[in-house]
Amino acid sequence: MRISALVIVAFLVASAAVSRVPIAHAQTAGAWVTLFDGTNFNNWTMTGNANWRIADGIAEADMPRGFLVSRESYGDFEMRAEVWTRPESNGGILFRITDARDPGIENGYELNINDTRKDQTGRTGSIVNVAKPLVKFDSGNQWITVEIRAVGPKMTAKLNGKLTAEATDTKYARGPVSLQAAGGLVRYRNVQIREIR
């Protein structure tokens, strides 16, 4: 009888302890939102001098320096886009920008697409001035799929499914995203984003 009572008491104490363990809330991703569908620039504001145009469903420019800046701001998100450049072109995707009038690495993060950049620590696949590229990835003369994930201070970048950069940085928490034309022919298509909550 005593053993049964002890087992019951032990069970009740264990049950009470389990019920007090905090439950971790899972992050959930919202639905993908298309920022550029190949027909218009309605979700963007143009800044700078780039000669943005739409040709065959593609956003392209070959005159620097300019940006397509999203009208909405994002904090925690996943973004994907297809990008085409020449090896000497300077393109990229900026995110969590704090000055939408003049995006740059001085006021946001940039996943760079620039194979021949003089400072190779900021070449294609890097998050400029934050994370050097983990692998050498040459993007020129081909369509590549870019994926960016930013949740809190953690950021990752992938090109064609390969992890090219990861970093933890708290400088910028929220802001618009941007497509960059900083030299040479750059093209973008199928640009999508989804917020993570």
Q: What's the whole-model pTM score?
A: 0.85
In a domain, 14, yes or no: no
CA dihedral over 34, 146, 113, 133, signed as positive or negative: positive
Mean pLDDT of the chain: 90
| % the chain with pLDDT above 90 | 84
In a domain, 3, yes or no: no
Residue 9, pLDDT above cutoff 60: no
Residue 2, pLDDT above cutoff 90: no
Higher pLDDT, 197 or 154: 154
In a domain, 46, yes or no: yes
Chain-centre distance for alpha carbon 188 = 14
Cβ-based neighbours of 92, under 8 Å, separated by 6 or more: 110, 111, 112, 113, 114, 128, 180, 182
In a domain, 20, yes or no: no
Residue 21 has a pLDDT of: 37
Could you identify the residue written with the tokens 């909550």?
197
Spatial distance between the Cα atoms of 141 and 196, rounded to a whole number of angstroms? 32
Q: Show the domain range for 122.
A: 27-195
Q: For the segment 49-96, what is each residue's pLDDT rounded down to a tens digit?
A: 999 999 999 999 999 999 999 999 999 999 999 999 999 999 999 999
H or E element that contains 143: strand 142-151
∠ at Cα 119 (128, 186), nearest 5°?
65
- Which SS3 state, helix, strand or coil, does residue 17 take? helix
In degrees to the nearest 10, what's the CA dihedral of 6, 8, 12, 17? 50
DSSP 65: S
Residue 157, pLDDT above cutoff 50: yes
Residue 33, pLDDT above cutoff 80: yes
Q: CATH code at 65?
A: 2.60.120.560
Domain count, the chain: 1
In a domain, 18, yes or no: no
In a domain, 56, yes or no: yes
Chain-centre distance for alpha carbon 107 = 15
DSSP 58: E
